[in-house]
Amino acid sequence: MNRAPLKRSRILRMALTGASAVSEEAESGNKPFLLRALQIALVVSLYWVTSISMVFLNKYLLDSPSLQLDTPIFVTFYQCLVTSLLCKGLSTLATCCPGMVDFPTLNLDLKVARSVLPLSVVFIGMITFNNLCLKYVGVPFYNVGRSLTTVFNVLLSYLLLKQTTSFYALLTCGVIIGGFWLGIDQEGAEGTLSLTGTIFGVLASLCVSLNAIYTKKVLPAVDHSIWRLTFYNNVNACVLFLPLMIVLGELRALLAFAHLSSAHFWLMMTLGGLFGFAIGYVTGLQIKFTSPLTHNVSGTAKACAQTVLAVLYYEEIKSFLWWTSNLMVLGGSSAYTWVRGWEMQKTQEDPSSKDGEKSAIGV
């Protein structure tokens, strides 16, 4: 019996549902409860601070009235360049000082770079559309504008795997879609809706889902090393961004930029690149010390805190229905995470119930 198609389907399913085959329970069980709680609190706090800071900093770089820099592709390119250099620098340090830094050896292999290229195209779409969405919409609406990732996960599960989704999971997706449309309606009522930014947000959500799928497929080409994949992704992105910047005229706009020689500007740009590099590390760290399910819940809570902070920082006044749209999106996302976690746990406890469950409540 050929098991390859089954294995590929299982890998894609893990990518779409966020499941992980790695468990930290055995390792963490040997640590005192207080130490574990402190570690988890520190890791979650680090994830929140890094993620929220990166969003506000990117908004400043992309759409600050004081900068007036209209080169979103260049900003994204520079962040990829910083990430590539950091990966190579840490690799060199690990080689020169073994034991001091734990980082894989990175040597650019053109054959591997070509293997990673399909994922890099999706990766470029993901980070570019994310930044373009943030450029055109306000930070308070940013999470709602990019809220359809879960919906695309379910859609791609069906289109690529012919995998049905439970009725309860579909209900949570309905809540997310309802919150998304209500948010658009309320932004329009307040006169702050950017249709361009909303479209970029939808495209970003689609690319996030596709990125998860292609990541699982490409990992064998980089020996299943996330850091090697990060390195190749960002190197490919830097190369592909160069012709884009030329075609879109961003290089001319950059040469005419008033703050091009400002140390403050380049410090903020480099800091944005550092946050872009750090978010991958702290995300993995949070999953390691908690679980993929807890990471999703933490991400939802972080999005809520980010929205509240943005409304306070920009001194905006939002209507009751606007807040309702955010709560629907966040609540639907949390409910979906809980439903999928419950279904996976139930399947692990009783594998024979999987087919019965699908026939009973599958849609």
Partners of 166 in the β-ladder: 362
pLDDT tops 60 at residue 78: yes
Per-residue confidence band for 18, with pLDDT thresholds at 50, 70 and 90:
very low
Query: What are the sequence ranges of the domains in the chain?
Result: 44-349
Closest by alpha carbon to 303, among 315, 292, 314, 311? 311
Query: Using CA atoms, how far apart are residues 39 and 290, in angstroms rounded to an integer?
Result: 10
Mean pLDDT for the chain overall: 85
The fraction of the chain above a pLDDT of 70, given in percent, is 87
| Each residue's pLDDT tens digit, 156-193 | 888 876 778 889 989 999 999 999 999 999 999 999 99
Say what the pLDDT of residue 350 is.
67
pLDDT grade, residue 352 (50/70/90)?
low
Q: Which residues pair with 101 in a beta bridge?
A: 98
Distances (CA, A) of 107 to 84, 91, 104, 291, 328: 12, 9, 10, 32, 46
More confident residue, 225 or 349: 225
d(CA 199, CA 212): 20
The strand pairing partners of 362, in sequence order, are 166
362 has a pLDDT exceeding 60: no
For residue 332, the model assigns a pLDDT of 92
Q: What confidence category does residue 25 fall into, taking pLDDT thresholds of 50, 70 and 90? A: very low
Single-letter code of the amino acid located at 311? V
- CA distance linking residue 123 with residue 207, whole number of Å: 7
pLDDT level of residue 17 (50, 70, 90 thresholds): very low
Residue 173: per-residue pLDDT: 93
Task: Write out pLDDT tens, residues 214-244.
Answer: 888 888 999 988 899 999 999 999 999 999 9
pLDDT tens digits for 119-165? 999 999 999 999 999 999 999 999 999 999 989 988 988 887 677 88
Q: How far apart are CA 294 and CA 287, in angstroms?
A: 8
Q: What is the CA radius of gyration of the chain?
A: 21
Give the model's confidence band at 10: pLDDT under 50 very low, under 70 low, under 90 confident, else very high.
Answer: low
Average pLDDT over residues 12-30: 46
H or E element at residue 196: helix 195-218
Q: What is the DSSP letter of 125?
A: H
| 235-240-241 Cα angle (round to 5) | 95
Instruction: List, for residues 257-295, the tens digit of each pLDDT value.
Output: 999 999 999 999 999 999 999 988 888 888 888 877 777
pTM: 0.83
CA angle 61, 113, 200 (to 5 degrees): 35
Least Cα distance to 198 among 183, 211, 209, 208 occurs for 183
The whole-number average pLDDT for the span 21-40 is: 64
pLDDT tens for 189-209 read 999 999 999 999 999 999 998
Q: Is the pLDDT of residue 4 over 60?
A: no
> Tokens 């309905």 identify what position?
174
Does residue 12 carry a pLDDT above 70?
no
Q: How confident is the model at residue 357 (pLDDT cuts 50, 70, 90)?
A: very low
Question: Comparing 38 with 19, which gets the higher pLDDT?
Answer: 38
Q: Reply yes or no on whether the pLDDT at 29 is more than 60.
A: no
Provide the pLDDT for residue 37: 83
62 compared with 157, residue with greater pLDDT: 62
Quick one: average pLDDT of 66-83? 94
Tally of CB atoms within 10 A around 41: 11
